[in-house]
Each structure stands twice: as structure tokens, then as C-alpha cells.
């Protein structure tokens, strides 16, 4: 019986689940923004126009473009 009591206490209230979803979305957006900034920085600092073009094509294929 004690085992069932602990299991019931582990169930998250709906409000907590909503908060966790929102937090996960915020983290995902921040990670996406960091990736986008890194890609843009790499494109801006590319050594040659050919390298810049290639990085832009890769970014477009993966939806990281500005």
C-alpha cells in the first residue's frame, strides 16, 4: 500500500505540466536563437565568397538562415 501512496504523490498537477511545456518552449527558442547567431557569425566571418555561399546554402537547407 505504501508504494501506491508514493506513486500518487508523483502525479503532476495540470498547471505544473503547462508550466513545464512553456519552459521547454522557451529553452528551445533560446537554443534556436543561439544556433542562428552562430550560423550568422560563421557566414559573416567566412574566408571566401565561395565558403560564404556554401554556408548560406547549408543554413537554408536546415532552416537556420537569417
Evaluate whether residue 10 is within a structural domain: yes
Residue 10 confidence (pLDDT)? 61
Residue 36 confidence (pLDDT)? 92
Evaluate whether residue 7 is within a structural domain: yes
Question: Is there a contact between 46 and 56 (Cβ–Cβ < 8 Å)?
Answer: no
What domain range includes position 8?
2-61
Question: Is there a contact between 56 and 65 (Cβ–Cβ < 8 Å)?
Answer: yes
Give how many domains the chain has, as a whole number: 1
Evaluate whether residue 66 is within a structural domain: no
Per-residue pLDDT of the chain (66 residues; tens, 9 = 90+): 555 555 555 666 777 888 899 999 999 999 999 999 999 999 999 999 999 999 999 999 987 665
Outline where the chain has alpha helix (H): 2-9, 14-44, 49-61
Evaluate whether residue 23 is within a structural domain: yes
Amino acid at each position: 500500500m505504501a508504494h501506491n501512496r508514493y506513486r500518487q504523490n508523483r502525479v503532476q498537477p495540470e498547471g505544473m505540466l503547462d508550466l513545464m511545456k512553456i519552459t521547454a518552449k522557451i529553452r528551445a527558442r533560446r537554443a534556436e536563437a543561439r544556433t542562428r547567431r552562430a550560423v550568422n557569425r560563421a557566414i559573416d566571418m567566412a574566408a571566401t565568397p565561395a565558403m560564404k555561399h556554401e554556408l548560406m546554402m547549408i543554413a537554408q537547407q536546415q532552416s537556420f538562415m537569417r
